[in-house]
Amino acid sequence: MSLSSFWSIDGHHELLEGYPTSQEHWSLGDEVDEPRRALLDKIELALSPKIVSTEVRASERNLVLEVELEDGRREIVRAPIGAREILLFESEVALIEWLSQRTTIPVPRIRCVVRPDTAELRSFAVMEKLQGECLMNVFGGLSFADKESIIQEIANFMLQLNELAVPQQIGTTAIRNDVVTLIPPVRTILLTADHSRVFDTLEDYMHALVEARRASQWIGTTDADRSRAGVALTRLAEEISLILARLSAPIYRRCVLRHDDLHECNVLVDGKRISGIIDWEFHSTIPVALAAKPPSWIRYDGIFDPRFRSKEFETWWVASPEDASRLRAAYFETLKAMNEEYWRAAVDGQLLQQIEEWLSDCRLDPGCDRMSAWMNNVLLSVG
């Protein structure tokens, strides 16, 4: 694998291996276990040509295969693994088809969806294999002009999502016969059954995130950890109330569609153009003040701020601090030129966006100490 450009937590440039294109290769004639053989048989039945090779692209929540057919075609197969994933799978498939009819966002075409009638076989969807490479592997090596062009495309896609008619509540879509209804948001595992529902107001949603964080394992398990976390979360809840009071106008509260997992591995780049936005299983209808944020790979604030990252995890950025700053400016300038109300929501919503990320972050933060350090540095500086 060729090396890609990354920047370390200290801002140093390094060449490292990027995101792998395959976790496991299989070719016709190789041994394969019975469940995988049964799935391959069903895929061949759906597509007609024989499968000559597969690459496992992902295997956690979904089994994602790139299949090569004997006629030379390549397709992507997504098969959910568990009961929760089946719900997300159905939501994602319906949303992708819905988006393809209403936007120019490059989403994969759905070739077919197969829902077996026996418990032994899993449902799966065959999707178009989009051209291009994972943004994580190429972005750091592009010219600044090409990086800027990609960020401007992202801004355009965000504004297309902004124009879609969606229910004015906070949740995840369940689309059937072109009618959009909502189920409780499934973006974060912190929103368990005790805290999750379709939310009518931004206040209710943010309060649920605070309480879900308070009850989670991510704040630590010792009495001391949970005591410090309780103090920090109570303080944060007070700050949230003040911020929400400043974001009470309709331009901040209107719900729009958001891709909740728009990171470097879910964007494909072909040359200097975006060729695909993939993995829509995590998405939500959410107030625009939360939706209008810059893409995560040019962020150095909130949970992406090097000062508050956990030292236990290796952290890399695909843009230098200097380039990221200029690219964020380009993102905001593009929004302002195209839709000033959306730009205003993006600018004024930045603190609330970062708070939502802190509350949803599934990395261990005993006592909420990293979040507290962020509050001490950021919230105090903005008054």
Give the end of a domain, one of 113, 129, 145.
Answer: 129
CATH number, domain at 295? Answer: 3.90.1200
In sequence order, what E strands does the chain have?
3-7, 13-17, 24-27, 51-58, 62-69, 74-80, 110-114, 124-128, 133-134, 172-176, 179-183, 255-259, 267-270, 273-277, 283-287
Given a cut of 90, whether residue 315 has pLDDT beyond it is no
State the pLDDT at residue 271: 86
For residue 372, the enclosing domain spans 134-379
pTM for the structure as a whole: 0.94
**Plot region of 281 (φ>0 → left; ψ -120 to 50 → alpha; else → beta):** alpha
Rounded to whole angstroms, how far apart are CA atoms 68 and 70?
Answer: 7
State the pLDDT at residue 336: 98
Q: Kindly tell me the burial class for residue 256, based on how many C-beta atoms sit within 10 Å of its own C-beta (0-12, 13-18, 19 or more).
A: buried
161: in domain: yes
Looking at the fold, whether 63 and 159 belong to one and the same domain comes out as no
Question: When comparing pLDDT for 350 and 271, which is higher?
Answer: 350
Looking at the fold, whether 171 and 50 belong to one and the same domain comes out as no
Tens-digit pLDDT profile for residues 21-53: 899 999 998 998 988 898 899 999 998 889 999
State the pLDDT at residue 176: 92
Give the end of a domain, one of 129, 158, 177.
Answer: 129
Rounded to whole angstroms, how far apart are CA atoms 9 and 28?
Answer: 43
SS3 127: strand
State the pLDDT at residue 121: 65
2: in domain: no
Mean pLDDT of 44-64: 91
Beta-bridge partner residues of 286: 256
95: in domain: yes
Contacts 24+ apart (CB under 8 A), 212-219: 212/188, 212/359, 213/359, 213/368, 216/190, 218/190, 218/361, 218/362, 218/363, 218/364, 218/365, 219/365, 219/366, 219/367, 219/368
Tens-digit pLDDT profile for residues 97-111: 999 999 999 999 999
Given a cut of 60, whether residue 189 has pLDDT beyond it is no
DSSP letter at 199 equals B
Given a cut of 60, whether residue 263 has pLDDT beyond it is yes
The alpha-helical segments, DSSP class H, found in 103-130 are none
DSSP letter at 325 equals H
Tokens linked to 342:
């959306």
Mean pLDDT of 307-326: 89
State the pLDDT at residue 157: 98
Q: How far is CA 92 from CA 250, 254, 279, 286, 297, in A?
A: 28, 22, 8, 17, 23
10: in domain: no
Tens-digit pLDDT profile for residues 321-337: 999 999 999 999 999 99
Contacts 24+ apart (CB under 8 A), 144-148: 144/323, 144/326, 146/272, 147/319, 147/323, 147/327, 148/326, 148/327, 148/330
State the pLDDT at residue 14: 96
**Spatial contact of 276 and 107, defined as CB atoms under 8 Å apart:** yes
State the pLDDT at residue 236: 97
Looking at the fold, whether 156 and 295 belong to one and the same domain comes out as yes
Question: When comparing pLDDT for 34 and 161, which is higher?
Answer: 161
State the pLDDT at residue 13: 96
- At a CB cut-off of 8 Å and minimum separation 6, what does 11 contact? 306, 320, 321
CATH number, domain at 74? Answer: 3.30.200.20
Average pLDDT, the chain: 93
- At a CB cut-off of 8 Å and minimum separation 6, what does 248 contact? none
DSSP letter at 378 equals I
Q: How many domains does one find in the chain?
A: 2
Looking at the fold, whether 339 and 273 belong to one and the same domain comes out as yes
4: in domain: no
Give the end of a domain, one of 100, 129, 158.
Answer: 129
State the pLDDT at residue 108: 97
Tokens linked to 256:
């729009």
State the pLDDT at residue 119: 61
75 pLDDT tier (thresholds 50, 70, 90): very high
Looking at the fold, whether 278 and 331 belong to one and the same domain comes out as yes
State the pLDDT at residue 193: 60
Given a cut of 80, whether residue 192 has pLDDT beyond it is no
Given a cut of 90, whether residue 311 has pLDDT beyond it is no
Tens-digit pLDDT profile for residues 209-235: 999 999 999 999 999 999 999 999 999
State the pLDDT at residue 223: 97
**Spatial contact of 150 and 272, defined as CB atoms under 8 Å apart:** yes
**Spatial contact of 333 and 346, defined as CB atoms under 8 Å apart:** no
State the pLDDT at residue 190: 62
**Spatial contact of 74 and 114, defined as CB atoms under 8 Å apart:** no
DSSP letter at 219 equals G
194 pLDDT tier (thresholds 50, 70, 90): low
State the pLDDT at residue 377: 93
State the pLDDT at residue 85: 84
**Spatial contact of 87 and 172, defined as CB atoms under 8 Å apart:** no
Looking at the fold, whether 235 and 94 belong to one and the same domain comes out as no
